[in-house]
A and B are shown apart, each in its own frame.
Chain A
Amino acid sequence: MGQHYDAIVIGGGHNGLVNAAYLAKAGKKVLVLERRHVLGGAAVTEEIIPGFLFSECSYVVSLLRPEIIRELDLPRHGMEILPLDGTFTPMPSGDHLWRMNDHARTQREIRRHSRLDAEAYDEFSKMMTPMCRFVKPILSMIPPDPTTLNPRDLKQLHFLMQRFRALSSDERYTLVQLMTMSAADFLDQWFETDVLKATMSASGIIGTFLGIRSPGTAYVLLHHYMGEIDGAFRSWGFSRGGTGAISNAIGAAAREAGVEIRTQAPVHKILVKNGRACGVVLKSGEEISAQVVSSSVDPHLTFEKFLEPSELPADFLESVRRYKYRGSSGKVNLALDALPDFKCMPGPGAHLRGAMSISPSIEYMERAYDDAKYGHFSRRPYIDMVIPSLTDPSVAPPGKHVLSCFVQYAPYKLAQGTWDDRREAFGDTVIDTIAEHAPNIKDIITGRQILTPLDLEREFGLTQGNIFQGELSLEQLFFLRPVPGWAYYRTPVDNLYMCGSATHPGGGIMGAPGRIASQVILKEWKKASAPSRSSKTAAIAHSHSETPPPPSQATTSAAHPPIEPAASPASVDRFAVAPKLDKN
């Protein structure tokens, strides 16, 4: 074997880079292996059309965890977040709904549609606040194992129970609803304005194969709402130079910490010797050995591609195969030589600087879902659009613009044809849909990039094109993510860890999985100077017992006990990869 490392991180997405950076800061010799020629995974910027910088996948930056920004000193490494204000929803009637970060203005706008809703909007905000407070700490804890009688796990479960009991009756009532209801049903209880409910509930379906009337989506809605509560809008918005600039900043921080990063280094296999990971083999045949392998790619690649079935317990493998991806969204990036002109609000204006949401009614959203259920992309999809070039001129030639469109639904499995022959039709559908609200769009497009779920899989290694490395449905969250019994960043293979969005707390540019995983890895390193684990169960019991800050954090500038709300203002928006969405 060639060189030897303490740790190899597979995948140069934001989580992999965060994970590597923290390991290096703890003094480990770390190598990051990225298959593509650029870093960032789905948080990447590329010049697809000369002069136009596309944030190809994730295009709006949501709350990257502040402690990561601070501990890795990302601003110094070139990360700059530019504000994104408001969500503008054009309506076929010629009217519109325009919600802004300014609560009062938003309320006035809503009053135009319904006096009652304007009042309810206040109460709604008041009620959502304690909800967010309740959930936040959960997002930054290593999930307990509900099946053991291990005192540490019981303690954590008890902690959760006590938190629930500490809520007021009304808060419990709302929380239970959020955990179990559909976004649309939940909002129906508060509001009467169809377009308001449709646009708000849109954030409940992102990255899922669910409709706004499917139970479980109210909970996703909550997470998007949390961003608003924190109100840290400076950390909200566009990254200067596109989303990729964030990955580059993390990469720079990692390099500074001593991490070695290799691009165009696709992994072929993870090397396992007597049940213990000991390195990787690249597609090139090169072997690299390491004490620990940390995989930021999804379980399908990690366990079904990089490992042999014989190296894994049968029932674990079964669970991995059962883990649901089901990509449901696509992305269309457009190069424009002018600004779109909305029928319902002609001319340029501030409404173009925020998110523009094509979600005119509950029925519209639900019918979009129905198409997908039977294997067709939506004839009239939900679209969330932004024009980053208005805020950050550096991403387009002077006077020209970039229009980034997140599109749902686009099912990975098509009933007829393949994505390769439906790709253009999909793009046309998206543009036709936009044209219904901004007719000039067709004349101002100078170039387009269409990313179907199949492209997301091929290009970015997202299995079945799921932007969160696995569906965010209730049965795949918390101690069930990614696989029941293995929600602790560990795997049945000793010294092999998971640190990607497929682990709790899930997808979104927040870096939490990468950071928590590094804590777990370092803790076990510390435990066994030679990281061999005689009794894994003991190891698990020990390590996720200590949810509070593991030794690793001693090396990081600020230690935050994971179970402390202050620690996780960002953790909230675990879903925010994609757009973000909904600023109420």
Chain B
Amino acid sequence: MPIGQRVVLIGGGHNALITAFYLAKGGFKPLLLERREIVGGGAITEEFHPGFRASTLAHTVGPLRADVARNLKLEKYDCHMLHPDPRVFSPTPDGKALLFYNDHAKTAGGIARFSAKDAAKYTEFAEALDQLSEVFAQLASITPPAIDTPSPEDLWNLFKTGRGVRSLGKKGIFNLLRWGPMAAADFVAEFFETELLRATIAARGIFGTALGPWSAGSTAVLLLRAAADSHPVGTAAFPHGGLGSLTRAIAEAARHAGAEIRTQAEVQHIRVKNGAVTSIVLADGEEIPTEAVVSGVDPKRTFFNLLDPSQLDPTFALRIRNIRATGNVAKVNLALNDLPSFPALAGTVGPDGFRQALSGRIHIGPEIDYLERAFDASKYGEFSTAPYLDVTIPTLLDPSLAPEGKHVLSAYVQFAPYKLKEGNWNSRRLQLGHTVVKTLSAYAPNLKDLIESMQVITPQDLETTYGFTGGHIFHGELALGQLFTMRPVLDWARYKTPIHGLFLCSSGTHPGNGLTGASGANAAREIIHNLR
């Protein structure tokens, strides 16, 4: 295919935008089509109540992979990252709390009030994680190798990875092999005795998944996330103006590089002839001829909604159908007329430290068993009565999101299964909202008096409004069997598909570890390589 050829991208999520950017840089003419009126997919800022804007879904970044961030030069497009410190505030109902700062020593100081042993171990843990994260970061940056006919590049990548692994030393390698398949609960227990500390860190292994801390393999998820940010509790960074300004900036960078971006352009069908893409058809009937299509929407939607299934090889179709991608996450955004007070802070930082302490993520899930019980409910089609919450109050660092003196509280809610045993998500939406408020009130008693408005986004909404099939925010469960060469499915983990000219670039592909842009960047590399 000659350079300068058109490539159509479906969906304006952050990965597709990044792919478009790199394709434009690579000399192609990307045309990106977004169904909604704004780009961003799961990384958007919307007004959910007059004067109140929230990062509707994702409320912190991955962060973006360093090289991707470098290439995009987002600051040029007026996207400024805010880096809260502490990153995480983790309270207990009985007024204790842990604060996780960038500075491990400072964090350890707080941990010491629970256990001197754990305080000492914390730095050791952070280092172990940091060391492993380099290996995982390396893995996340490569295209999964072809098993049958590894290319010289595959072999080189594996060699590099192998070297990285060997650099861990005998003990390190065995730890890697041991930890991967382990339950996060066991993993943290190897280091710490403090329940609150264990739970706060283990939560990273279950966020956005259908796993509990006692599920084997949740450590692999935790380590995969550490590849993006090796801090024990991960990142809390978000851009000024909410996540939407990140994707808006990426879009501008892509436009600037030569990509065309159309919103309110819903792709209805990908036309295929003789196993090759010929054109795409929009909902309004417009047909755009193209020989190359990159899908930024999840694999199931791509192959079952946008393609004529008869075009698919049955084995491949079966594997796609078998992808486990039913979500367990809901989102609740609150408009508050004042900052809620967390009594647990009193015993942790001085009054003048309150605002800073709350400026990062607030982890609600004080015990491993608490998290596990929250998960249990979802196994039987119920949402947790005491859910695990990942909360931010972005207005502390970015007042522009709410009217003067008012605040936005944004909470990820786990576990809320896509399929409910009783009722449906419309009939139970409010109940979920109240459950979240009730849960939070145990930590911030005055919360309910401050609420001006509440937005509840159920797994059903995630599918219908935001296009996550099955309501899975990662386009596919992050489980041992669906990572690396198995993401999205074995034999097709290299961003190509059995349909000639059709590629994937969403988080349904390797590595799919959150808002890092890794999938989009890896995909672009492969697509350029294939189209040239």
Contact = CB atoms under 8 A, between A and B. Distances in A.
Nearest to B380: A363
Interface in A249-302: none
Contact of B173 (A146, A215, A315, A473): A146
Interface string A179-192: 11100010001000
Interface in B300-352: 315, 319, 322, 324
A237 interface: no
A515 to B, nearest CB: 26
Among B190, B376, B481, the one with the most A-chain Cβ atoms within 10 Å of its Cβ is B481
B177 interface: yes
A215 B177 contact: no
Nearest to B182: A475
B177 A146 contact: yes
B354 interface: no
Contact of B216 (A172, A216, A322): A216
B477 to A, nearest CB: 10
A480 B214 contact: no
A165 B150 CA distance: 11
B214 A373 contact: yes
Given A169-B491, A176-B490, A180-B481, A475 B178 contact: yes
Given A170-B315, A172-B490, A373-B372, A475 B179 contact: yes
Contacts of A181: 479, 481
A189 B324 CA distance: 10
B491 A215 contact: no
Nearest to A362: B379
A176 B481 contact: yes
Contacts of A484: 174-175, 177-178
Interface in A203-225: 210, 213-216
Nearest to B217: A215
Contacts of A475: 177-182
A216 B490 contact: no
Nearest to B185: A373
Contacts of A474: 181, 216
Interface residues of A, number: 36
B67 interface: no
A474 B178 CA distance: 8
B76 interface: no
Contacts of B322: 189
A485 B173 CA distance: 10
B471 to A, nearest CB: 18
Contacts of B186: 324
A82 to B, nearest CB: 37
Given A366-B379, A480-B174, A176 B217 contact: no
A124 interface: no
Q: Say what secondary structure dominates the interface of chain A.
A: helix
Nearest to B214: A373
A374 interface: yes
B190 A165 contact: no
A556 interface: no
A214 B490 contact: no
B217 A180 contact: yes
Given A176-B486, A180-B217, A374-B369, A216 B181 contact: yes
A170 B181 CA distance: 23
Interface residues of B, number: 37
B385 to A, nearest CB: 15
A324 to B, nearest CB: 7
Contacts of A176: 481, 486, 490
B70 interface: no
Interface string B375-405: 0100110000000000000000000000000
B170 A147 contact: yes
A486 to B, nearest CB: 10
Contact of B178 (A172, A185, A480): A480
Contacts of A366: 379-380
A511 B182 CA distance: 28
B312 to A, nearest CB: 15
A177 B481 contact: yes
A215 B178 contact: no
A210 B216 contact: yes
Contacts of B173: 146-147
Interface in A370-400: 370, 373-374
A179 B220 CA distance: 14
B94 interface: no
B181 A172 contact: no
Given A473-B181, A475-B182, A485 B216 contact: no
A188 to B, nearest CB: 9
Interface in B151-182: 170-171, 173-175, 177-182
Nearest to B219: A475
B324 A185 contact: yes
B444 interface: no
A322 B147 contact: no
Question: Could you say which of B177, B315, B324, B380 has the most chain A C-beta atoms within 10 Å of its C-beta?
Answer: B177
B480 interface: yes
Given A176-B486, A176-B490, A475-B179, A215 B215 contact: yes
Contacts of B217: 180, 215-216
A177 B481 CA distance: 6
Contacts of B324: 185
Interface string A158-202: 000000110001101100110111000100010000000000000
Contact of A173 (B175, B211, B380, B490): B490
Interface string B175-217: 1011111100010001000000000000000000001001111
Nearest to B170: A147
B480 A180 contact: yes
A22 to B, nearest CB: 30
A460 to B, nearest CB: 26
Contacts of B211: 215
Contacts of A210: 216
Nearest to B171: A315
A490 to B, nearest CB: 16
B216 A215 contact: yes
Interface in A440-492: 473-475, 479-480, 484-485
A165 to B, nearest CB: 6
B422 interface: no
Nearest to B379: A366
B318 to A, nearest CB: 9
A363 B421 CA distance: 13
A479 B177 CA distance: 10
A499 B147 CA distance: 37
B148 interface: yes
A176, A180, A366: residue with the most chain B Cβ atoms closer than 10 Å: A180
Contacts of A215: 181, 211, 215-217, 479-481
11 contacts: A169-B491, A172-B147, A172-B490, A173-B319, A180-B217, A180-B481, A180-B486, A185-B324, A215-B211, A366-B379, A485-B174
Task: Please list the 5 inter-chain residue pairs (A to B) with the smallest Cβ-Cβ separation, ordered nearest first.
Answer: A484-B174, A180-B481, A474-B181, A180-B480, A215-B217
Given A147-B173, A147-B174, A475-B180, 4 more contacts: A146-B173, A147-B170, A172-B147, A324-B186
